[in-house]
Amino acid sequence: MKLHTLLICTALFIAAAVFVPSAGYAQQKKTDSTATALLFNGLKEYNSGNYGKAREHLQKLAAISPNNDAAYYYLANIAIKSDDAPSGELYLKKGIELDPENFWYRETLGQLYIKHNKIAEAIKIYEELLEMYPKKSAVYYSLVNLYLGTQQTTQAKEMLEKIEAVQGKSEAIAMTYYNIFRMEQDWEKALNYLVEFDKEFNSPRIACVIGDMYANRYKDSLAIIYYNKALEADKECAPAMYGRAEVHRANGNFPAYFEDICPFLANPTINPGMKIDYLKQIFQIPNFINRFKYQLDSAMLGIEAAHPADTTANLFLASYYVERGNKEKGKELLMKNHKLYPDDYSLLATYIVALYQLQEWDNLEEASTMALEQFPGDKDFTQLRGIARFQTGKTEKAIESYRELEKIALAGKDTATLILAYTLLADLHYDKKESKTAFSYYNKVLKINPNEIGALNNYAYYLALEGKNLKKAYQMSRKTIETEPDNPTYLDTFGWILFLMDKPLEAKAQFKHALLYGGTENADILDHYAEVLFKLGEHDLAFIYWNQAKNLDNTLGIEEKIKERKAQLKK
């Protein structure tokens, strides 16, 4: 054996013989091992998002190793994520106490203060960080924002000067100065600062802001110069396009306006909601849509191409096209929305309601049937399908729909819908000449609500048509005109009942009132009024109103009635 090897072995032997671990050392070694395992497991659960389990490990770690600053830092983060700000603050302060030089502990505490609007405390934290870490630019910017948030513009400018001294001038610094001057209401200094900055640096954003400021001062030529400068640097600069377009619009230069606004609207990077809000304002200008319909059609195509999957844009465009008379395009966009998001109830409902408004009854029945397959038992789709079936003459199918609506209403104890179902079932059965069934449904309605004026009017009118129980009809109809004294439909019913009760003078007063409130546009009301006049011997006037009724609706047999009445007079 070589000498140096022998010496080493001897030394190790002696050391082993001399050192005997104490019980305290073994316990400390065990504690350190447990602490390491708790920290490892705690961080593992934390990174996996299992904050409850992570908290358990870290709290045990803090209990056996109270000087472990990392335990408090992660416990603080868990508390913050759980919206327990007080605990988060206490844990962070403990971590800072144990490791005063740790940047992240203080910075996290500062962010916690900002989140909970403790601005003075946050400023104190960042001022301390600035003293400790004078080279960290993020601290400077955080302090600038905090100073601005508390209107401390002098301190903010001092901080900007320090940043500028280290980093030099930049667009971000310039815009911050601009915002400070605005906050101080010193608009001239704000404008002059940006103009001077623009002389040294080519920034489309700064040029646009200068353009906007000149436009607000009605210095259109200067505004255009700066908008053009921005567009020379960035030909797709949206704020410059918009600003220049608005200057052209204000000056009545609409060819130039559309040259700018169309690319702006077609830019896919611009929020579609902002575009729609802008167009809604523009459309308030009298006759704007009609005057520039072709240019606007082109603009709408640009929006559609830029945001093909944006439902808000599609809804707006659909409304525009329907307003312009292009119903097919409007329907196409609404259906497109539904196909994009087939599980979205509101988008499907919007499409179906549009079919109702457009009175496309066949399409409405098909679409509402499809909707009920997707949303079975929906009362609105059930009702709309019933309307579609009624309008297409499918009375039995319509009755089937409203019986389904009745079941839905009863199950949900929805009296408003139940009244609607009973009223419509009454009307449908009367159309089938099943007056007994119709009247039973009206009675059901009035049992729920004795003052339901729609049912009162229809019930009274049908009783009058059948010549049955005119006193009951009179009482019901009177209720309707007491509730809505200017409703021409209700006045017509009441007037006709008075006529049938041989009270033509009283009936005439009701019809004259009805004519003042829109009755002249209703052929049935004109026909009834003519009957009253004829009864009173005002024949010439009666024929004038019958001719008006015939011109409004030639399906009522008015022409034959005129011939009969004239023949009657000759006898």
174 pLDDT more than 70: yes
User: What is the DSSP code string of 434-494?
Assistant: -HHHHHHHHHHHHHH-TT-HHHHHHHHHHHHHHT--HHHHHHHHHHHHHH-TT-HHHHHHH
Dump pLDDT digits (tens) for 27-71: 445 557 888 888 888 899 889 899 999 899 888 888 888 999 888
Q: Is 508 in a helix, a strand, or coil?
A: helix
What pTM was computed for the model?
0.64
The span from the CA of 319 to the CA of 334, in Å, is: 9
User: Are the beta carbons of 300 and 320 closer than 8 angstroms?
Assistant: yes
22 pLDDT more than 60: no
- Non-local CB neighbours of 301 within 8 Å, separated by 6+ positions: none
15 pLDDT more than 70: no
Long-range own/partner contacts, residues 255-263 (CB < 8 A, 24 or more apart)? 258/292, 258/295, 258/298, 258/299, 261/299, 262/295, 262/298, 262/299, 262/302, 263/236, 263/302
Percent of the chain with pLDDT strictly greater than 90: 65
Dump pLDDT digits (tens) for 109-135: 889 988 888 888 888 988 888 888 887
Q: What is the mean pLDDT of residues 306-329?
A: 93
pLDDT at 542: 93
Q: Give, in degrees to the nearest 5, the angle at Cα 251 between 247 and 256.
A: 65
Paired tokens of 142: 């955080």
pLDDT at 125: 86
pLDDT at 31: 59
User: Are the beta carbons of 132 and 107 closer than 8 angstroms?
Assistant: no
Cα dist from 456 to 380, 452, 515, whole Å: 24, 6, 21
Looking up tokens 């611009």 gives: 270
The span from the CA of 110 to the CA of 106, in Å, is: 6
Paired tokens of 44: 């593992």
Nearest CA among 107, 44, 38, 90 for reference residue 68: 38
- Non-local CB neighbours of 156 within 8 Å, separated by 6+ positions: 143, 144, 147, 148, 176, 180
Phi, psi of 542 (to 5 degrees): -60, -45
- pLDDT band per the 50, 70, 90 thresholds, residue 142: confident
The span from the CA of 42 to the CA of 480, in Å, is: 74
Q: Is 310 in a helix, a strand, or coil?
A: coil
Looking up tokens 């954003």 gives: 205
Dump pLDDT digits (tens) for 33-43: 888 888 888 89
Domains and CATH numbers, the chain: 187-265 (1.25.40.10)
pLDDT at 6: 29
- Within 13 Å, how many C-alpha atoms sit on residue 397's CB side? 13
Residue 274 carries which DSSP code? H
Long-range own/partner contacts, residues 182-185 (CB < 8 A, 24 or more apart)? 183/148, 183/151, 183/153, 184/153
pLDDT, the chain, mean: 88
Dump pLDDT digits (tens) for 500-554: 999 999 999 999 999 999 999 999 999 999 999 999 999 999 999 999 999 999 8
- pLDDT band per the 50, 70, 90 thresholds, residue 355: very high
Q: What is the mean pLDDT of residues 185-193?
A: 90
- Non-local CB neighbours of 239 within 8 Å, separated by 6+ positions: 205, 208, 212, 230
User: Are the beta carbons of 443 and 462 closer than 8 angstroms?
Assistant: no
Residue 520 carries which DSSP code? G
254 pLDDT more than 80: yes
pLDDT at 172: 84
Long-range own/partner contacts, residues 257-264 (CB < 8 A, 24 or more apart)? 258/292, 258/295, 258/298, 258/299, 261/299, 262/295, 262/298, 262/299, 262/302, 263/236, 263/302, 264/238
The span from the CA of 348 to the CA of 173, in Å, is: 49
pLDDT at 154: 84
390: buried, middle or exposed (CB in 10 Å: 19+, 13-18, 0-12)?
buried
Residue 521 carries which DSSP code? G
Q: What is the mean pLDDT of residues 163-190?
A: 84
Dump pLDDT digits (tens) for 469-487: 899 999 999 999 999 999 9
The span from the CA of 542 to the CA of 39, in Å, is: 99
User: Are the beta carbons of 306 and 345 closer than 8 angstroms?
Assistant: no
User: What is the DSSP code string of 363-409?
Assistant: HHHHHHHHHHHHSTT-HHHHHHHHHHHHHTT-HHHHHHHHHHHHHHH
The span from the CA of 283 to the CA of 299, in Å, is: 13
Dump pLDDT digits (tens) for 372-422: 999 999 999 999 999 999 999 999 999 999 999 999 999 999 999 999 999
The span from the CA of 535 to the CA of 557, in Å, is: 19
Q: What is the mean pLDDT of residues 85-107?
A: 90
- pLDDT band per the 50, 70, 90 thresholds, residue 158: confident
pLDDT at 434: 94
The span from the CA of 334 to the CA of 347, in Å, is: 7
